C-alpha cells in the first residue's frame, strides 16, 4: 500500500497503535500533505475519533501512542501529529472539520 505516501508498514503500525490505545472502534484518517502523491516530504497528520473513553484516558493514550510511533521502525523518529476528537464531547475545532473533509480513511 504505497498510496497516499504511506507505506504498508506505516499503515499497519498506525492502525495497530490506534487500536491498542483507543480501541478497535476508533476512526482513523490520514490528512494533510501525505494525501497528495505529487508532494514530497512532510509530516504525518492523523485524525482519530474515539468514544467511550475519559479525557484522562484519551490524554494518556495520546502520549503513549505518539511515543510508540516515534520509536517504531515504520516511522523512525519522523514527525507524527495525532489530532484526537472525543465523539462524546460537544467541543468542536476547525481542524476536525478539515481532517474529515479532506482526509482519507485508513
Q: Which domains does the chain have, with CATH numbers?
A: 8-105 (3.30.460.10)
Helix (H, G, I), strand (E, B), or coil: what is residue 48?
strand
- Residue percentage of the chain with pLDDT more than 70: 91
Q: What is the pLDDT of residue 22?
A: 97
> What cell does 14 get?
498506525
Say if residues 103 and 30 touch (Cβ distance below 8 Å).
yes
| Model confidence at 1: pLDDT above 50 | no
Strands annotated E in the chain:
27-31, 44-50, 80-86, 104-105
- Cα(6)–Cα(34) distance, integer angstroms: 7
Cell of 90: 460537544
Mean predicted lDDT score pLDDT of the chain: 90
Amino acid at each position: 500500500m504505497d498510496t497516499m505516501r504511506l507505506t504498508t508498514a506505516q499503515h499497519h503500525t498506525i492502525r495497530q497503535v490506534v487500536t491498542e490505545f483507543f480501541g478497535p472502534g476508533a476512526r482513523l484518517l490520514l490528512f494533510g500533505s501525505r494525501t497528495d502523491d505529487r508532494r514530497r516530504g512532510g509530516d504525518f497528520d492523523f485524525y482519530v475519533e474515539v468514544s467511550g473513553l475519559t479525557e484522562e484516558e484519551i490524554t494518556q493514550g495520546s502520549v503513549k501512542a505518539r511515543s510508540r510511533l516515534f520509536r517504531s521502525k515504520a516511522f523512525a523518529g519522523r514527525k507524527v501529529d495525532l489530532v484526537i476528537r472525543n465523539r462524546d464531547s460537544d467541543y468542536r475545532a476547525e481542524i476536525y472539520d478539515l481532517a474529515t473533509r479532506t482526509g482519507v480513511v485508513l
